[in-house]
Structure 1
Amino acid sequence: MDGKSIAQWPASERPRERLLKQGPEALSDAELLAIFLRTGVPGTSAVALARQLLDEFGDLGHLLNASKQQFCAIRGLGEAKYVQLHATLELARRYLAVQWQRGEPLTSPQAVRDYLRHRLQGLEEERFMLLLLDSQHRVLQTIELSRGTIDAAQVYPREVVKTALKANAAAVILAHNHPSGVAEPSQADRHITGRIQQALALVDVSVLDHLVVGRGQSCSFAERGWL
């Protein structure tokens, strides 16, 4: 059926109808992507095009993290689809941030890692994030402190302290990404983390973790025993 328009498929097999009846979790990556694409190209349905895209990039994660040039080079795609895709991803990130700030304590390290991975993975420049928590480890705020490389001295411990005190935070989680895709912390990462930890200790604010996010992987300072 891949050569046919999805409108010609039996209703029980169309992705939109299946989503409405069974919920989004019942659909494959290709089917969800086909709903986003809306249309295929001549001779290829949206589902078939979605499968081709997943084969081309290897998996959904690599597709979503593709550069504009890589994405738009595929037949059937273009700048408009690229903009739509990244608007959708940003909505998902903001939804997760809102869910975090509704007062639920952070009881799962994996939940923290998943959120930060979605927030930072695949970005083309390095960004340094600060999660401010209260005494029960509920998220007060998520703040982007800097863009660029950490060793370019764009993250200042005094600014972290000032921000934490302003929010009346009891603890923080630090996070940044490596655009190279390699999550292994550098010596500069470890140096700035130590300076921030020492500065925050003077005002009785704990550093719970520093996560370095790469492509499909992350590294936790707490798990390494560095905090």
Structure 2
Amino acid sequence: MKIKDLATSEKPRERLLYKGAEHLSNAELLAILLNTGRKGFSSIDIAHEILSTVDSIHYLKKLTISDLQNIKGIGTYKAIVLKAAFELGERMHSGSIESQIKITSPQDVATFLMGEMQHLTQEIFVALFLNSKNIVIKKQTIFKGTLTRAIVHPRELFNAAIQWASNAIIVVHNHPSGDATPSDEDIQTTKRLIQCGEILGIDIIDHIIIGNGSYVSLVEEGYFD
């Protein structure tokens, strides 16, 4: 059935207008973004096709422009609109989470990032920028590396810290091997970042390595003494 054949009260845009966005299904919200369908299929039909390509709406952001264009009825313009909407939703979600996270221990960091980082096949380096109350202002990926190595440049890290007016930083990276044991390079990198932070007056308060279901805090291991 085409959208125009639905009763006015059942059309997604009208339902949003009169009942509120919270009353619409995921497919209806996507249909509004799509605006039009294709021959024989409504925008809601296409929305259901998009949703069928992912396990949950949390994975919509991972769809590329090409992925979206592979769905018949979605051209470049619609793919761009959808991609922009998914990215904006992700940023809003991330911001709301970060504003509630207070770091009191390495376990807090592990709880926050383990699910996101433990199964990555590429090494990434993430910074948590904290305010004076150790509440996360911003979580930001600073570097992405190869399978076994991330190249960390203090300049990029501390430029971001200044941008976010951060009082302190916790740095986190993953080991794709699953073994969270710090390497000699991890230890040397940590010492270099601590020294740079001391010059700038921005403390590096921990470096946490994420493995497969495990983590190592370099503070707890005594490398910050």
- When normalised by structure 1's length, the TM-score is 0.63
Aligned to 1:33: 30
% identical equivalent positions: 27
* Equivalent residues, number: 201
Q: Judging changes above 3 Å, is the alpha-carbon distance between structure 1 residues 199 and 26 closer, same or farther for their aligned structure 2 residues?
A: farther
Q: Judging changes above 3 Å, is the alpha-carbon distance between structure 1 residues 195 and 81 closer, same or farther for their aligned structure 2 residues?
A: farther
Q: Judging changes above 3 Å, is the alpha-carbon distance between structure 1 residues 173 and 26 closer, same or farther for their aligned structure 2 residues?
A: farther
Answer yes or no: is the 8 Å Cα contact 1:200–1:206 preserved in 2: no
Q: Judging changes above 3 Å, is the alpha-carbon distance between structure 1 residues 174 and 225 closer, same or farther for their aligned structure 2 residues?
A: closer
Q: Judging changes above 3 Å, is the alpha-carbon distance between structure 1 residues 43 and 60 closer, same or farther for their aligned structure 2 residues?
A: same
Q: Judging changes above 3 Å, is the alpha-carbon distance between structure 1 residues 99 and 131 closer, same or farther for their aligned structure 2 residues?
A: same
Aligned to 2:222: none
Deviation at 1:38, TM superposition (A): 0.9
Equivalent residues in 2 for 1:1-227, closer than 5 Å: 3-4=1-2, 6-96=3-93, 104=99, 106-107=101-102, 112=112, 128-149=125-146, 151-156=148-153, 158-159=154-155, 162=158, 169-174=167-172, 186-187=178-179, 190-191=182-183, 195=188, 197=190, 205-207=204-206, 224-227=214-217
Answer yes or no: is the 8 Å Cα contact 1:130–1:173 preserved in 2: yes
Q: Judging changes above 3 Å, is the alpha-carbon distance between structure 1 residues 124 and 171 closer, same or farther for their aligned structure 2 residues?
A: closer
Could you give the per-residue CA deviations for residues 134-155 of structure 1, whole angstroms, max 9, x where no partner exists?
Answer: 2312334554422442734412
Letter in structure 2 aligned against 1:206: I
Q: Judging changes above 3 Å, is the alpha-carbon distance between structure 1 residues 93 and 65 closer, same or farther for their aligned structure 2 residues?
A: closer
Gap regions ≥5 residues in structure 2:
218-225
Gap regions ≥5 residues in structure 1:
177-182, 213-218
Deviation at 1:40, TM superposition (A): 0.9
Deviation at 1:130, TM superposition (A): 1.4
